Structure 1
Amino acid sequence: EEGGPIPVAFYYDEDKNITTIGETKEESPHKEKAFDKLFSVDVIKLKESATFTQRVKVKDISKPIDALMDYMACDNKGCVAYTDTPVKIDFANLKGAIGTEQINKMFPSVALAQPILNGDILDSKRASLQTTYVEPLGDCGEENTANGQGYLWTFILGFAGGLLALLTPCVFPMIPLTVSYFTKGSKDRKSGIRNGLLYGLSIVVIYVAMGLLITSIFGSTALNTLSTDATANTIFFLIFVFFAFSFFGYYELTLPSSWANKTDKMADGGGLLGIFFMAFTLSLVSFSCTGPIIGSAIVASANSATGPAIVMLGFSLALALPFGLFAAFPAWLNSLPRSGSWMNTVKAVLGFLELALAFKFLSVADMTSHWNILPYEIFMGIWIVIFGLMSLYLLGVFKFPHENSMKKLSKARLAFGLAALAFTIYLGTGFRVNQNTKQYTSLKALSGIAPPTYYNYFRPDVAETQVDPAIKARFASYTKCANNLDCFKDYYEGISYAAEVNKPVLLDFTGYGCVNCRKTEEHIWIEDEVWSKLNDDFVLISLYVDDRKKLDKTLISKSSKEKIRSIGKKWADFQIVNFNQNSQPLYVMMTPDEKVLAKPRGFKEGVKDYAAFLECGLNTFKLINGKPIGSK
């Protein structure tokens, strides 16, 4: 009746091969008609199972029939409408399927059907999710707070890179020379300070403009894609190795000398323009030292639209700071250490750091493309070798080309050598096994850099073969995820299983290259008060938005009209359409019938906060569910 639920309806793709005869008939041994309080009308309900019969005239039985099905599934908590569910009937083999399941399966299992229309359109929209995301069932939870923290850390990354650049032989000797030029070549102290500050400001303008130019050329979306793209990360790996050996002294990176000569001539003109070109000359002549640092910082910040500009702001402020300070307080120049061999040592140490970070990018390419060449043990072993060699270098065991033999080991170099040795030993502790998860113990200092501990060769007791075989036989995406937790890597399979076991869902939008995702998994999920809830009370669905594994066929997003070729792009489209954001991690607690339980959570440190977030969702689920969690 009018005002009632959506009735079951079939829509056939009628062409020259098929003609329907009459209406679709429905039969069910548990069919009943009664007044429904929810809709306030008489409703015919088909419980447990139903048979639908449609007479058709077919010319060629070798060609299957394609149709779409509308229906609504209800329980005592509410109803969910399903529209345009694909139906395929194969006359030649006497088989039929609704979505990915056989027609004779239990009716609720139809929820497994992927929302694909006509075989090539991806419609990720889930109306219930969109509605309850705006107004969750519970009034607890919290908003995503990762962006503000991300900007701060990006700035700090750039600032730290600028401080390191100051210590290199290309930049450090320039500080007293440039400041002396301003203080002695100016009419008075006031103009000297002004010129020094303008020089520093020019450095900031030049580098920030460079960051904005990079974003405008590649675009924010392209930069974000590059940060997890296998080909791009492999290229970054090779570039970092190239930079590392440049720092080791095997060759030098230089820009054409004509560029520096031209800007130097422009600087001779004096005035504001002259000061600007003096700063531009510095950026060119120091490129052999600053180039690798800048490149490293930009690549590390490329997952954000404003990342390159923010990292350049931090870098340039650190680089400009001493020029402004020493111009204002020239007496401080006397406290600077003299230039010497220690600057080559700084370059070599930077080379070791570049080489270590190179494998971070190779790791991202490996995980997103499923190459299985750089698991946790191999990655950690490589880092132990690199930092072990760094400690031996600092302790004077060997030297690089163009370095003079060291007569005496300085106290500072000895201290840094021992610190590198201590860090090498610390890396070795990453092979300890956590008794709860039966996996390696992740190191906080390497969160988001090293591969996740569950990606390993030598811990077969936590391999996929240990999952429940009965569940695995029914749900292909069922596997082991972080901290030995059972999880699903397919949304539709996950919610179908959650409905069977009567548990709430924790929807985890994550990524193989997501630093904050690893921090949450390795240092929050692993704690007992969080791990026990995830393990016992939730069905975990982890959707990797950077998974480069190809889909069986290219799809077209109904919302963005973009081509969807990979699993990761499919889940990224799902996140954007239903939750209006594309940052990871994003944690959404929901019911199996797709109602959001509390405000979703982004990245935020704090074990107790995360445990309270989960408890909030559990309490809301218990309140509306009316049955014990896990009861069928």
Structure 2
Amino acid sequence: MNNILKLLLLVGLLYSQSTQNPVTITASVESPARAGEVANIKINADMEDQWHIYSIYKLTEGPLPTEITVNSSVVGAMAPVQEPKPKYVFDPGFETDTYYHEGNTEFIFPVRIKRSAQPGDYSMAVDVYYMVCNERLCYPPITKSDTVKITIEAGSPRNDRTTFVVASTGSGSGTSGDSNILLSIFLLAIGGAVLSWVMPCVYPMIPIIISFFGKMSEDKNIGRTTIATFYGLGIAGTFVLIGLLVGFLSWGVNDAATQSKYANIGNLIATDPWINLALGILFIFFALWMFGVVNVNVAGKLVNKTDRAGQSANSAYLGSFLLGVTFAITSFSCTVPVVGSLLVVAAAGTAGGILTSLYGMVVYGVVFAAPFVALSLFPTALDKLPKSGNWMETLKIGFGFIEIAAAIKFLWVPDLEWEIGLLPRDIVLWSFIIIGILLIGYLVGLYKVGSAENISPFKVGKGRVIAIVLTGLFLYPVGMSLASPPTYHYAKMPRLMDELIEALVPPPPTEDDIAIKEGWFVDQYDEALAKAKADNKPLFIDFTGVYCANCRVMERRVFPTKPVKEQLDKMVLTRLYVDKKDSLSEAFARLQFERYKQATQPYYVILDPKDESTLAEKGGYVPNGFAEFLSGGVSAFYNRNN
């Protein structure tokens, strides 16, 4: 306390005695530029010996961070200020380690000229708010201003000047900072992998795993642990390969638009119509195989008993590896939130970024694959069960119905992308109900599928009873959703079931229309920004996706709650889709990547519309604490502007 009082006294003395300041601020800008181009404003802070100002981004308790703002009628958008790597040393004045700059320090503030700007000369006001200290004294925080002139020339924007360049702002603490980053990546990868275990996208492959490895376990020439290991390598290796691919494609690339495309490759795989069409056809084939309609012994073809034992084993290992790759691809629509975060690191295009992404992908892939490798070993337990008979045939047929449902889940993606209109949300829900009824009819013995014998109507064993109950529990919310037009969403279903259904069916046809009526700006960033400026309100951005199940759950279960709605009513709201196959979504994805280094959805940002500075940001499914997050952003806005 004595040290703080001394410091405050010294600050007061300096403020009363001195009109000078040991920091000189000058600014310059690249000129001329064209409307729609990015111009870099260079701000030089020249400090006298032994004096320093504090970092913009690296914060510690005590000193106030430096802030830089630019105001001009021709500035349409801004990127984060680029600062050099600050020093991280013990600061005697605050008795703690702080991040600061000393000597002649240059900051770069990239701004984009408005596309509507007319040729001519314009002024840009640059304000730098900072606290300057030495080992004994601190000047009171002060704002120094400089004005720069920029000439806007006629002509279309040049291609190499239309996007913000992604630059590092320095890591600060060296080894300690790197360790913190690696720990964060480790925790993200493990937590995301564990969460991915229960995602609905992984369920359709479970019957295939059991069927494939059940057949493999019959061949005594094949090591069961070895083929399970190859299967795990197929899963983990797919994620690692994608991370490396993004890293090498981004190597040496500074263009943020290109980096954004590479970072969003996970979304591309999850939403590409051709990939989903191929997966849909594959699962139909799997279903027909399980029904006995297609008489192809998949495992037998791979094993081929007539070959030598070594050849048989090699084929089995290749088959299990490819099955792992297929599993990883089919799960991408659910795993992309975590994988997307790791791909953002890889898209930095640096050796450190590639190695960090590789580290994260290896951890994620291994942890994600672990339970499914264990499941692939499940057929070894079949040795202790009764020999295959009606019960195994029933299990196989039941899995076949699941594969048909999975095929529909993949097939509605190309239907939606190509605007065919054969599989809208209500038709997909009807399809699931029909499949469920057919499955229940089979389980109660109303008809036969395959070669099973001695099945009489309504003579149902315990296993079939459990399957019927589970099917009924799934069909109830599906039916209630179908009975809830026009959104075809049943609001009272449990959250887990809500997430499951949203991952399996197309997005509702009218929810954006409802949002627009409630005042949202959908895919209208500039309009929302102008409205927020006019109303003097903070701007809330919802980076969302057509195929984002968690986005829909947030919009239905969290946004309408009273505390959240009270905070949303204090802001101008915009919803920006980043995964539509058009130039607008591409621009919004680039905006999210450039400013926030994120490529996952949902992602929420609250910003000050005056200078588009970020007040608060948070990503993912946030069932608790979302109102507090919004309240913090709103309070920051009014504290900043009062």
Q: Within the alignment, does 1:318 sit opposite 2:375 as a pair?
A: yes
Shift of 1:545: 1.6
Q: Is the 8 A contact 1:124 1:574 kept in 2?
A: no
Shift of 1:206: 0.8
1:229 matched residue in structure 2: 272
Give the AA of the match of 2:230.
Answer: I
1:472 matched residue in structure 2: none
2:195 matched residue in structure 1: 153
Select 2:606's aligned residue among 589, 592, 613.
589
Q: Within the alignment, does 1:495 sit opposite 2:529 as a pair?
A: yes
2:397 matched residue in structure 1: 348
2:626 matched residue in structure 1: 610
Shift of 1:574: 1.7
Q: Within the alignment, does 1:265 sit opposite 2:308 as a pair?
A: yes
Q: Is the 8 A contact 1:512 1:546 kept in 2?
A: yes
Decide whether aligned partners of structure 1 residues 250 and 5 sit closer, same or farther in structure 2, where only a CA change above 3 A counts: same
Q: Is the 8 A contact 1:165 1:290 kept in 2?
A: no
Give the AA of the match of 2:235.
Answer: G
Q: Within the alignment, does 1:531 sit opposite 2:573 as a pair?
A: no
1:241 matched residue in structure 2: 284
Describe the SS at the equivalent of 2:617.
Answer: coil
Decide whether aligned partners of structure 1 residues 397 and 439 sit closer, same or farther in structure 2, where only a CA change above 3 A counts: closer
Give the AA of the match of 2:603.
Answer: L
Give the AA of the match of 2:195.
Answer: W
Distance 1:624 1:510 in 2: 28
Deviations along 1:428-481, whole A, 9 cap, x unmatched?
Answer: 12246599x99763853242425576424xxxxx774x78xxxxxxxxxxx46x
Describe the SS at the equivalent of 1:455.
Answer: coil
Distance 2:591 2:151 in 1: 17
Q: Is the 8 A contact 1:260 1:284 kept in 2?
A: no
Give the AA of the match of 2:308.
Answer: K
Shift of 1:152: 1.5
Q: Within the alignment, does 1:358 sit opposite 2:374 as a pair?
A: no
Distance 2:148 2:289 in 1: 60
Distance 1:348 1:294 in 2: 24
Distance 1:569 1:338 in 2: 56
Shift of 1:495: 1.2
1:41 matched residue in structure 2: none
Distance 1:586 1:46 in 2: 29
Listed as ranges, the gaps of 5+ residues in structure 2 are 1-23, 36-70, 75-115, 130-142, 171-183, 247-261, 344-360
Q: Is the 8 A contact 2:541 2:573 kept in 1?
A: yes
Q: Within the alignment, does 1:568 sit opposite 2:592 as a pair?
A: no
Distance 2:296 2:121 in 1: 64
Shift of 1:204: 3.4
Q: Within the alignment, does 1:620 sit opposite 2:636 as a pair?
A: yes
Root-mean-square deviation over aligned CA pairs: 5.1
Distance 2:72 2:278 in 1: 59
Give the AA of the match of 2:629.
Answer: F
- Show the 5 A alignment for 1:356-435: 356-367=405-416, 373-404=422-453, 406-407=455-456, 408-431=459-482
Distance 2:397 2:72 in 1: 75
Describe the SS at the equivalent of 1:541.
Answer: strand
Shift of 1:209: 2.7
Decide whether aligned partners of structure 1 residues 343 and 384 sit closer, same or farther in structure 2, where only a CA change above 3 A counts: same
Deviations along 1:116-162, whole A, 9 cap, x unmatched?
Answer: 833785325799xx99xxxxxxxxxxx99975543213345699678
Q: Within the alignment, does 1:123 sit opposite 2:163 as a pair?
A: yes
Q: Is the 8 A contact 2:29 2:148 kept in 1?
A: no
2:574 matched residue in structure 1: 541
1:339 matched residue in structure 2: 388
Q: Is the 8 A contact 2:616 2:632 kept in 1?
A: no
Distance 1:410 1:118 in 2: 72
Question: Which structure has the bigger radius of gyration?
Answer: 1
Deviations along 1:495-551, whole A, 9 cap, x unmatched?
Answer: 1111112221122222112233233223322333223432x12222222221102xx
Q: Is the 8 A contact 1:233 1:365 kept in 2?
A: yes
Select 1:455's aligned residue among 509, 519, 532.
509
Aligned length: 466
Shift of 1:617: 1.0
2:235 matched residue in structure 1: 211
Decide whether aligned partners of structure 1 residues 118 and 356 sit closer, same or farther in structure 2, where only a CA change above 3 A counts: same
Describe the SS at the equivalent of 1:356.
Answer: helix
1:559 matched residue in structure 2: none
Q: Is the 8 A contact 1:260 1:281 kept in 2?
A: yes
Describe the SS at the equivalent of 1:441.
Answer: coil
Could you say which structure has the greater relative contact order, defined with CA pairs below 8 angstroms and 6 or more residues apart?
Answer: 1
Q: Is the 8 A contact 1:207 1:313 kept in 2?
A: no
Percent of paired sites with the same residue: 23
Distance 2:615 2:229 in 1: 44
Distance 1:547 1:80 in 2: 42
Q: Is the 8 A contact 1:575 1:581 kept in 2?
A: yes
Larger mean Cα displacement after TM superposition, 254-263 or 609-618: 254-263
Listed as ranges, the gaps of 5+ residues in structure 1 are 14-43, 48-63, 90-115, 132-142, 183-197, 269-276, 327-331, 457-461, 468-478, 550-565, 627-632
Shift of 1:413: 0.8
Describe the SS at the equivalent of 2:598.
Answer: coil
2:57 matched residue in structure 1: none
Larger mean Cα displacement after TM superposition, 227-236 or 363-372: 363-372
2:294 matched residue in structure 1: 251
Give the TM-score taking structure 1 as reference length: 0.60
Give the TM-score taking structure 2 as reference length: 0.59
Decide whether aligned partners of structure 1 residues 236 and 147 sit closer, same or farther in structure 2, where only a CA change above 3 A counts: same
Decide whether aligned partners of structure 1 residues 357 and 433 sit closer, same or farther in structure 2, where only a CA change above 3 A counts: same
